[in-house]
Amino acid sequence: MSNAFFNVPKAINEPVKSYAPGSPERKELQAMYAALKNSTTDAPMIIGGKEIRTGKTVSMHPPHDRAHVLGNYHQGTAEHVNQAIAAALEARKTWANTPWQDRAAIFLKAAELLAGPFRAKMNAATMLCQSKNAFQAEIDAACEMIDFFRFNVQFMTEIYAGQPESAPGIWNRLEYRPLEGFVFAITPFNFTSIAANLCAAPALMGNVVVWKPSNTQIYSAHVIMELFKEAGLPDGVINLIHVNSSVIADTIFKSPDFSGVHFTGSTNVFNQLWRNIGANLETYKGYPRIVGETGGKDFIIAHKSANAKEVATGMVRGAFEYQGQKCSAASRTYLPSNLADEILALVKKDVESFKVGSPEDFSNFVNAVIDEKSFDKIANYIEYVKTRDDAEFVCGGTYDKSKGYFIAPTVVKTTNPLFRTMCEEIFGPFLTVYVYDADKFEEALETLDKSSEYALTGAIFSQDRAAINTATKMLENAAGNFYINDKPTGAVVGQQPFGGARASGTNDKAGAPQNLMRWVNTRTIKETFVPPTDYRYPFLG
Ligand code: NAD
């Protein structure tokens, strides 16, 4: 019997381990990395808790060591997608009626398992699969994923506690039930924690999920599924499929039970998904929830009052950590003419001190970009700069894919505020800088606001409060996460709810109550204790 209003443990952010030389976590992670590297994984799809091997396999390789084989994943067809939908709907019969405290306990247990026995494996898998250094893996695959689980449990209880007023003689209640059908999670390569959260957030709220990870994240996706199983998530609540995107339109989006998509990835793909959903609208039982966090062209603008060293450090960390493959990574910077030379000299010195290579060597700050397609795209931008006389390299501008997909961290300075690389998302270690007239700050803000379709993250550096206020006001639509005297990356769950508007997505703020609200339907129940027995109101007398 569960007749009580339970309090959940207060969510706290998972402390980040240092991995400093001699630390026990470093030793454990290095041993796990070696163990995973020296073994191979045969990655099945997981449908209704069953491992599905089709024999049609695709090999998996670390981006920094393309000849090395991590294993194979089994590729499925439309038939497997339909099996996954059926398994999800079967699991829904029980899961949607599972008491919230049991759902909470499963995800709280997942958080504790990840903080302890799963930590090294999740981090090592992310290092190998997505080429993250130990620190980048730790803040993503361990800490952020733990934070998502813990904070979402707390937010769920806060949502359920939201109840309407009741006038005398009646009782009003609000129920929060899961969506009527299944949720489709489509996840990007760049954050293991985002992949887990796009499945876990709807599941926590009582939904069942079909999950298609990015092909370049399947290796670490399997560790997530292991974690969910170990935490006690029932079979069929989250179903992992490996299919080509081309089969999605004819399966998922044609199912009457499709009730929502939880997407993170590029803007073009999201637009295509939205169009597919729109084309099938009459098929569905309800209006599907469409939640998408998409691309960015994240900025830093420095005011003439800024501290040059602070700006340079913000640029270097904001643009190059994880090879610039964070959706929040700074990729365009506006520097005032009075400080530009000093800041660029500091940036160049820092960037040229980076070591680039495999994450296995802990002294490497920058690792490989995710795959050949991404490498070629960034290399094309570098070649484009070489053909132009309105831009020049401050540093970098070279690339080499003989061993892995390595791009030298690149800074380009342009005289054209609308230069292609000031406007388009590149998603790599590539930062473009435009120097504006230090006395025309507001003009620079206007240009910034208009030169990209995106509005994800951005930062202002200034020592002048009035300038900070002007930027905060004039850029209110330019970034969903706005930073004052800080780099535009590194949002922490529970502290800086994350997401952007314009072409950067639906701005439903991952890891926040706003996002969880998208995965419930509400029903208002009004109960009258002593109903009236005469239709006549007193004024009729
Ligand atoms: P992507 O758009 O290439 O892929 C995302 C997912 O969509 C993958 O699982 C992919 O297989 C799938 N996909 C691709 N085409 C599809 C189609 N036609 N139908 C169905 N699914 C399809 O993105 P990516 O390269 O994995 O990730 C990088 C992108 O994600 C960048 O644009 C980045 O800005 C964005 N991102 C945004 C946020 C955010 O919070 N706003 C966070 C992380 C990444």
Q: How far is the CA of 272 from the centre of ligand 1 (A)?
A: 11
Which of 208, 21, 8, 14 has its CA nearest to residue 118? 14
Q: How far is the CA of 223 from the centre of ligand 1 (A)?
A: 20
Tokens of 103: 């759902």
Dist CA 197 CA 191 (whole Å): 10
Which of 338, 325, 385 has its CA nearest to residue 140? 325
For ligand 1, atom 23, name the residue with the nearest CA. 265
Q: Which of 138, 144, 293, 321 is catalytic?
A: 293
∠ CA 478-483-486, nearest 5°, is 140
CB atoms within 10 A of CB 39: 9
Contact in structure between 454 and 504 (CB atoms under 8 Å)? yes
Residues forming a β-bridge with 407: 399
The predicted pLDDT at position 218 comes to 98
Dist CA 353 CA 155 (whole Å): 43
Dist CA 34 CA 24 (whole Å): 16
Q: Which of 129, 143, 327, 395 is catalytic?
A: 327
Dist CA 433 CA 417 (whole Å): 9
Q: Could you check whether 24-294+505-525 and 298-484 share the same CATH topology?
A: no
Which of 294, 303, 245, 297 has its CA nearest to residue 265? 294
> Does 129 qualify as catalytic in the annotation?
no
For ligand 1, atom 16, name the residue with the nearest CA. 245
**Tens of pLDDT, residues 494-509:** 999 999 999 999 999 9
Residue to mutate, 75, 131, 214, ligand 1, most ligand atoms under 8 Å from C-beta: 214
CB atoms within 10 A of CB 537: 8
For ligand 1, atom 35, name the residue with the nearest CA. 265
By CB atoms closer than 10 A (0-12, 13-18, 19+), residue 116 is exposed
Q: How far is the CA of 86 from the centre of ligand 1 (A)?
A: 25
> Does 165 qualify as catalytic in the annotation?
no
The domain locations on the chain are 24-294+505-525, 298-484
Tokens of 19: 């991995």
Residue to mutate, 327, 371, 376, 454, ligand 1, most ligand atoms under 8 Å from C-beta: 327
For ligand 1, atom 30, name the residue with the nearest CA. 265
- The string of DSSP codes covering 237-298 is SEEE----GGGTTTTGGG-TTEEEEEEES-HHHHHHHHHHHHHTGGGSSSPPEEEEE----E
Class in CATH terms, 298-484: alpha beta
Give residues (CB < 6 A) around ligand 1. 186-191, 194, 212-215, 245, 248, 264-266, 269, 272-273, 293-296, 327, 425, 427, 456, 499-500, 504-505
Dist CA 487 CA 395 (whole Å): 20
For ligand 1, atom 17, name the residue with the nearest CA. 245
Residue to mutate, 131, 266, 514, ligand 1, most ligand atoms under 8 Å from C-beta: 266
Tokens of 224: 């997530």
Q: How far is the CA of 270 from the centre of ligand 1 (A)?
A: 8
Q: How far is the CA of 263 from the centre of ligand 1 (A)?
A: 8
Q: How far is the CA of 10 from the centre of ligand 1 (A)?
A: 33
Q: pTM (2 decimals)?
A: 0.98
- Amino acid 28 reads E
**Tens of pLDDT, residues 17-60:** 999 999 999 999 999 999 999 999 999 999 999 999 999 999 99
Residue to mutate, 186, 452, 457, 506, ligand 1, most ligand atoms under 8 Å from C-beta: 186
* Homologous superfamily of domain range 24-294+505-525: Aldehyde Dehydrogenase; Chain A, domain 1 (3.40.605.10)
Residues forming a β-bridge with 184: 210, 261
Q: How far is the CA of 187 from the centre of ligand 1 (A)?
A: 6
| H/E element, 473 | helix 465-474
Which of 60, 92, 132, 151 has its CA nearest to residue 321? 132
Match 């504790």 to its residue by tokens.
112
Note down pLDDT in tens along the chain; length 541 residues. Answer: 678 999 999 999 999 999 999 999 999 999 999 999 999 999 999 999 999 999 999 999 999 999 999 999 999 999 999 999 999 999 999 999 999 999 999 999 999 999 999 999 999 999 999 999 999 999 999 999 999 999 999 999 999 999 999 999 999 999 999 999 999 999 999 999 999 999 999 999 999 999 999 999 999 999 999 999 999 999 999 999 999 999 998 999 999 999 999 999 999 999 999 999 999 999 999 999 999 999 999 999 999 999 999 999 999 999 999 999 999 999 999 999 999 999 999 999 999 999 999 999 999 999 999 999 999 999 999 999 999 999 999 999 999 999 999 999 999 999 999 999 999 999 999 999 999 999 999 999 999 999 999 999 999 999 999 999 999 999 999 999 999 999 999 999 999 999 999 999 999 999 999 999 999 999 999 999 999 999 999 999 8
Contact in structure between 322 and 190 (CB atoms under 8 Å)? yes
The predicted pLDDT at position 536 comes to 96
Three-state secondary structure string covering 132-155: CCHHHHHHHHHHHHHHHHHHHHHH
For ligand 1, atom 18, name the residue with the nearest CA. 245
Q: How far is the CA of 373 from the centre of ligand 1 (A)?
A: 13
For ligand 1, atom 9, name the residue with the nearest CA. 214
Contact in structure between 149 and 227 (CB atoms under 8 Å)? no
Tokens of 484: 């004052």
Which of 45, 252, 231, 221 has its CA nearest to residue 149? 231
Q: Which residues of 354-384 are buried (b: 16+ CB within 10 A; e: fewer)?
A: bebbbbbebebbbbbbbbeebbeebbebbee
The predicted pLDDT at position 1 comes to 66
